[in-house]
Amino acid sequence: MNELMDRVKPIAEAARWWAEEKAQKDFAYDKDLMGLCAIASAKLFRDLQKESIPAQIHVWFGGHVFLTVEDYVVDITATQFPDFKTTPVVILHEREATAFEYFTSDKSFTSDDALRKYQQKSRWPAYQIAFTK
């Protein structure tokens, strides 16, 4: 990886722990965090912003949300997929990430609010819609 990803990783790990705690308290989400990707990605997006690390939010048409930071995919809910069942924080260069269809970006956003509006307009289930605070 690189120096920027060395800064991103602990922030992503903390957001993952937050998501795991949320999943334990709310039975709407699976242990593998399925259904929590947009909420967790929006949280991570805001946490990165606080550290002045620019990121983009991406949506795969199959219903998965992840981030990119520069040319790296950062995903804290990829445990819902067999390839990453045991990897709580996935950080892959975009060249590597193209091997996995769920890291294909069909829509991208530069704010958590834009993601939320897209989800509402697209009629995502209410329990999966990203928070903006």
pLDDT score for 31: 81
Q: Where are the domains of the chain?
A: 3-121
Reported confidence tier of residue 24, pLDDT bands at 50, 70, 90: confident
- Give the pTM: 0.94
pLDDT digits (tens, 9 = 90+) for 74-121: 999 999 999 999 999 999 999 999 999 999 999 999 999 999 999 999
Between strands 72-75 and 64-69, the pairing is: antiparallel
pLDDT value, residue 62: 81
User: How much is the pLDDT for 78?
Assistant: 96
Among 126, 129, 132, CA closest to 118 = 129
Of residues 32 and 10, more confidence is placed in 10
